Structure 1
Amino acid sequence: MSDPNLGASLRGAVDLSSLRGRPAAPAAPAAAGAPGAGGLVIDVTDATFGEVLELSRTVPVVVDLWADWCEPCKQLTPVLEKVVTELAGRLLLARVDVDANPQLAAGFQAQSIPMVVALVAGQPVPLFNGAVPEQQVREVFAQLLQLAAQNGVTGQLPVGEGAAASADEEPPLPPLHAEAYDAIEAGDYARAITAYEKALAENPRDADARAGLGQVQLLQRVQGVSLDEARRAAAADPTDVEAALLVADLDLSGGHVDDAFGRLLDLFAELPADARPAVRERLVELFGLVGDDDPRVVRARGRLASLLF
């Protein structure tokens, strides 16, 4: 098994926005079900996952996607529990039964199990698939803790009390971020965009606001759009830039990153010079959403550069 992709960027193709509850201070994961290991190992569901997602801003969360019929899962889960327990609260293990929680399975794009993903500051970080040796699990978790520290996630859960982080212990969201989250929950993407833009005007280095702005702008563009109708429009006129941009947005929001990039790069190659800027700008925007260190972005950037020069 190769080393996990633990780059400095946390943004990936996995879209967990639909699984995020209102970003208030998280409730104790024990409410989601704590089967053992002093509360450091919990079972989560489609309904309770939002609590764990928000908790990952305090402590890294390892998500174990499994099923009762999966024999490799039965080999891996005890290893994960052992290593997490030994780390004494520096990690939380969240177990997801993919059969009982189809929304989570789809959100994580679980093509095969066991699948292990981390959450750091609300962002997914792929770790590994399949039952791997204990020593490799330890090495991966050590890298995960380093990545979390680089991103300011250095909390520790009280052993024996699980993730009983209270609202008093969780710092409140900045006002403009809270306003954006409330607007997203209400489906008012325009208000969320305005809030994030104000946050960036106050602090241009606010990475969370910049990432949130890009994600909400994408959500606004695809809101209420029929994928089938968009594909038909793009197929009817392969040179229709707006139609191609819309399908690329839909592909990316659905996790089909290479399809989105490939469509726009193919179009870019065919367009005259004066029609290219809109496609290039959208590509750069989508690169930022996926993450500059993602290998798919690296490949697409390379092809874009070759087309430009």
Structure 2
Amino acid sequence: MVVGLIVTISLPHHRPRPRAVHSTGPTPMNDSPLLNPSDDASASSGQAGNHDSPWIHETTAESFEQDVMVRSQQAPVVVDFWAPWCDPCRQLAPLLEKLVTEAAGRWHLVKVNIEDCQDLATAFQVESIPLLVSFLGGQPVDSVPGVPTEEQLREWLSRFVPSEVSVLMADGEELESEDPAGAAAKYREALVLEPDNAALKIHLSRAAITLGDNAGAASLIADLEQRGFLEPEAQSLKDQLDITTSASESGGVSQAREASEESPDDLDLQLKLAEALAAERQFEEAFEICLDIVARDRDGAGQRARDALVVCFGMPTANPELVSQARRKLATLLY
């Protein structure tokens, strides 16, 4: 196992050395009190033994692959090379435990006692401790020797550990198609942490439209508009809300259908019916009406119908299969 580690795991071609910015320097390996290692073993200050935290793990040469290589496929892993006799290691331990607990699973801490795992220390060319090595996707990506300050350690972790906001957003995106209410809850939780995050507001607006909360979506879009611009997705959501508002103000599907039946050649009335249908999520008929308008009039009302189709294609409640079919029909009509 360890021979394989030496072959497959290698940091960039430099050996870790102390950095001047560290408040406490690393302990050189040749300072190890190997002749009397038991003197300080009892003062390991939480380094040795079992940990209650599900995000802190002790490892050995035999379990390293599972503890680090496999685990880092799911979340970043920081390996802490330490020893019971190392004072800087004991100084660093509480800070590491504080930050990994605070992250609540966004990264894991795996501790390597070099007294018990000297082959691992050799594989990583460990010259001094403490030494932190970060892993992502089964590969080492960065290292920090010595004892950084909390600010320095947070900055280092931010390079590879996803933020709480990004995790909440990813969770929301995963939920959005099947559980829009759950997704909206994730987005709102993230907005508490970053209230000016435009991407979060767009995501929440989309979920709100799916849930039928057009007023809430409109409020979020209006807030984004105060910046003087809208991202393309935000503009698309605004257009969708405009269609819904217009349809509601015109009396909905029943009135729009009655008016279109009285004047079947009035393409603008046909378009209003299509928009009213889309607002009530009756997309199949809405698409067919718009496509018929385009077939009858390439310009004028036909152009407006094409614009309406593009807006409807982006509606989060539109059936993807129906959208694909309508896109193909529209392309056939135009080209």
TM-score range (shorter-chain normalised) is 0.3 to 0.5
- TM-score by length of structure 2 reads 0.37
Higher relative contact order (CA closer than 8 Å, sequence separation 6+): 1
Q: Rg: which structure is higher?
A: 2
- Structure-1-length-normalised TM-score: 0.39
